[in-house]
A and B are shown apart, each in its own frame.
Chain A
Amino acid sequence: MRFDGDLAEIRFGAGLSPLLPPPASAAEMLERLQGPDEAAERFPVSGFATAAAGAGTFQKLRRQRNRLAGKSGYEAADKAFKDFRRAQNQARIGWHGQRLLRHIHTRDGFRERLVLFWADHFTAQGKTPALRVLAAPYAESVIRPHVSGRFEDLLIAAVTSPLMLHYLDQFRSAGEGSRAAKRAKRLEGLNENLAREVLELHTLGVGGPYSQTDVRQLAELFTGLSISREKGFVFRPGMAEPGAETVLGKTYGGGKPQLQQVLSALRDLARHPATARHIAWKLAVHFVSDTPDAALVDYLADRYQASGGGLMAVYEALLGHNAAWAPELRNVKPPFDFVASACRALAVPAERIDALKPRQLNRLLLAPLTPMGQAWEFSSGPDGWAEEDAAWITPQALAARLRWAMAAPRRLAQGLPDPRDFADAALGGYANERVQFAARAAETQTEGIGLILSSPAFQRR
């Protein structure tokens, strides 16, 4: 395998930059990934605990306001609530700007890509107004610290995260024979949602070797995983279904309900051969092609199995396999990656993004993702964003990309580059003849830049 720095940065990283050199070797990429997280230090995003405390304040202010309905003091309470809500939304927009800045200025682009990949694999969304800002803090605290560790730790972090427990309705699921169900006046019961998605999406995959009985048993085993306002994630033995549960032929628990029983089931699921294949296939599809080489998938699955789900070993295998380096650019960048890599090619300075008011930042860099088909942080379900190229390049979504490419750069970069230079900066050796011709022939600088960003050569990787 011959290492190609430009291709490495385009396919596995954040895209080419006129300011930062591409990696010199696969070893360098892996080394940076294991080194200090410089981008996160330079462009901080709120951690989950802090942001979740904000959600608590949101609920408290809303309760105070509602209590005062029709009484004196309502207006002040209403204003306090609305001011806080606005501040929360502005914070969310700010975190989006920070995440873009990481993509623009990092020398560790593979890490940014992996955070996006795993946050999507473990999609969790805030379903209530108080929680809707939490996706970025979740990616920050739950996903990001584990992307170079072991899959089982990532799985456990995601499945026990308060946002996931809320998103997939786990936090109120009580075993039918549990103390809570017997004591509570209102009907308590089991909810299968998280258990099903753990098997179908997070571990074995939809074709995996499990049955409805396994879903039900895992849902019973999961009872007790819950949330407390003060502590975040808690295990409540009183909600747990008494007795043992059998998942994929293995029996867990039986005595006093304990978190350890849930965690050991998750570890077993993480190490299952079907999980190895599922994760290998997803990584190959995401980074290489919608229809990845079978040998590549086999190789990644083998390395996953051999390392017990050690993600560094799997990444090393991915970067070391010939099939991952086919020179033809294939996968279409999803909208976030498209916008982030365009900003990187334009070398948008941190001061420029910092100077944008939240409204401007939203209008230029967040809201445009929706008509491109990616309502950011709100995919249509727990299966996250589509991988198929055809899902992204529809007439209306392509039109939205072109509209952004023609209009946004002028508002982001101070002084646009000459399109001919920009073609080289953005595409390196992938600036083909068509791109170079368009860069020369465009009537205005704005259109020239817009066209280069619109080219399939830039939109694929």
Chain B
Amino acid sequence: MGEHLIKMPDVGEGIAEAELVEWHVKVGDLVREDALLAAVMTDKATVEIPSPVDGEVLWLGADIGDVVAIGSPLIRLKTGDEEGAASGHDTSDKAPEAPSRPKDIEAQADGAVKTSEAVVEKQAREAPRPQPVEAPQSPPVRVHRPSGPRMEGDKPVASPAVRLRAHEAGIDLRQVPGTGPAGRITHEDLDAFLTHGPQVAKAQGLVQDTSVQHVKVIGLRRKIAEKMAVAKSRIPHITYVEEVDVTALEDLRTTLNATKRADRPKLTLLPFLMRAMVKAIADQPHLNAIYDDEAGVVHQHGGVHIGIATQTGSGLMVPIVRHAEARDIWDCATELTRLSEAAKAGLATREELSGSTITITSLGAMGGIVTTPVINYPEVAIIGVNKIMVRPVWDGSTFIPRKMMNLSSSFDHRIIDGWDAAVFVQRIKTLLETPAMIFVEA
């Protein structure tokens, strides 16, 4: 009998630690080779850790939500035979807890990590199956789901055994919510009532809910929280709001969509904005930058890598349209669709989720009138798109209905002066209001 130690694999360049977001196994489970053991998360990408061998789970090295350093022990497996020494070690005489021979374990673990890494890479390349970032499965907590109001005088539905137990415990079954068919009160309902008391028993009228749920902030939610806290605490934001008349742009967009080739994607407003940003950045390259505030260096990028803030089932993600300067409007649209779908399905790779140089945030029809976007640290600018609405606009002699849209944009005031911010947004406004300028070289 051998033992196989699996360590937290190195899931990407420069990553020192990863958060355990899900265990697929528990102690005592038998696992087959390639069976998934755990999911870990780094920088908004989730990586599944498969088992390199057949074996039985002896020990789990972390709780869900723990941040584990790369290379730390994660799982111990008991292997059934010499295959346990797949990485070339005679483990038959080794006691399960044998820290006196750390070298062996170390070497063995290296093998495991290698195997895991290989699988990780394979998965990243082929993106073979959805691996949504999921909140960890908390142990099933019985939900107190009252069966709807019981009519006055209705007898509670319960078996004689349940009725007897309730009566002996001094419980009026009319107060006990039944979760069974037809509101039937089960032994489990009675247990729950005995344990938790009648806090949700009243079915009618307004009742105080004094319950408090303790939700551990883990996984993607913690990443978002950390990132937002860093951005807001480090970056002095300046937010600039301007109104854009998108009537002409909308006409163009509608026409293009109506006349486009069948294989072309449907255009939303965002590809136009992306192309306008590329033009504006050509004049103001310091807005397309990463500010390393600790080193005191602004990395101005030639390539425009636009992050697109995307709402997914598990939270905010920012997939990146790389090299927007090298993509035409159709290409931008195609890439945008692909990425947002991948992010929503949890299929976005780590590479697709990191390395942006400027970000767009848009909530579409939910965009509101004004927002105060938080900069995607360590970038220096974020462009927020508000909703389009028809507003009356004074043309000098009369009010005419125009499709108007606000842009709410935030800038890192350490690097970007208000003037620069205004120039940038005005440039985008001009481009969007006269969309031909987006496509014509100056």
> Do A and B truly interact?
no
Binding site for A on B (CB under 8 A): none
By a beta-carbon cutoff of 8 Å, the part of chain A in contact with chain B is none
